[in-house]
Structures are given as structure tokens and as C-alpha cells.
Amino acid sequence: MFLLMSIIPAAASNSSTQPQLSTFLPGSYETILKRYQNQSFLMVLWSLDCPPCFRELAMLGKLMKRYPEFNLVLVSTDSPGDRKELLSVIGGKGVASADVWVFSEANSSRLRYEVDRIWYGELPRSYFFDDQQNRRAVSGILDQDTVELWLRKIQ
């Protein structure tokens, strides 16, 4: 009985730090825009097959510690079958508190088109959104100075 009682609080406290992973379905992009209405946020699309994405996630994890108000949305272009590995990477890179999504299907062209009609799938791909939901797209790895400048500007 004592052992069970000591395990339950540890599991409960651990679940709040576990990354949550939502499935990115048709319509999810609009859901994200509504969730961050009147707020600035950074949306980063990445994949387990993208080595530069791992460096970028580590950099974003450091910035999340420095800027706790940082609204970060991560969208993996992998599939839900990669859930275990995705959660491991997200937790290991310090971005577990981000709003994390994974594409619902391996044939992602329809979902990519929903995010950006002129995006062909190159990764990493990022979108800086202001509080009016104007966005600026960036292909390739983000520079930490650029992200920090944006974070200071939106505060």
C-alpha cells in the first residue's frame, strides 16, 4: 500500500512535464490560428529525417527557458506511427512545453498545402506570426539571433 501511494504522486507530477502530441489533420492549421488569436507565435515544421531540425530544436529549447512567454508551435511532418521517437526527441531537446503536432498521414502534400500553398516540403520551415496573424516564412535552419530579436520585438 505504501509503495503504491508513493508511486502515484510521482506519476502525477511527471505527467505535467510529458510532451503532448496532437494529430495535425485537415483543419488543424485553422485550429492553431484560432488558439493563438491576438498572440505572436513561431510555427516550426520539422522531421525526424532532418538533421538540421535537431540543432534548431535544441536552440529553440534554450530560448524557451530564457523566454517563458514564447509561444512555440512544432509540427512534425512524420506520421503518428513515429510517436514514441517524436516524444523522445521533443523531451530531449527541451521543447516539451511547446504546442506539438504530428501530420496525420505520410502523404503530407494535402496538409502542407493547407499550411502554405507555395511550400514544397523543404525542412526546416518556419513561420513567424505577429499578433495580427501576419506571417513571415523562412526555409532552412533559424538563426538564434533572429529568433531572439523577434522575441524581444514582440514583448
Closest residue by Cα to residue 95 from 72, 75, 78: 72
Using DSSP bridges, classify how beta strands 41-46 and 135-139 pair: parallel, antiparallel or unpaired: unpaired
The span from the CA of 74 to the CA of 124, in Å, is 11
CA dihedral 110, 114, 119, 120 (to 10 degrees): 0
pTM for the full predicted model = 0.88
What's the pLDDT at 108?
85
What's the pLDDT at 106?
63
Exposure of 42 by Cβ count < 10 A (0-12 exposed, 13-18 middle, 19+ buried)? Answer: buried
The span from the CA of 58 to the CA of 65, in Å, is 11
Q: Give the angle subtended at the CA of 73 by the CAs of 106 and 110, to the nearest 5°.
A: 30
- CATH class assigned to 19-154: alpha beta
| Contacts with 111 (C-beta within 8 Å, 6 or more apart), sequence order | 24, 25, 26, 28, 77, 103, 104, 105
Q: For residue 143, what is the DSSP state?
A: P
What's the pLDDT at 27?
96
Q: For residue 118, what is the DSSP state?
A: T
What string of pLDDT tens digits covers the 155 residues of the chain?
444 443 443 333 343 457 889 999 999 999 999 999 999 999 999 999 999 999 999 999 999 999 999 999 999 999 999 999 999 999 999 999 999 999 998 668 999 999 999 999 999 999 999 999 999 999 999 999 999 999 999 98
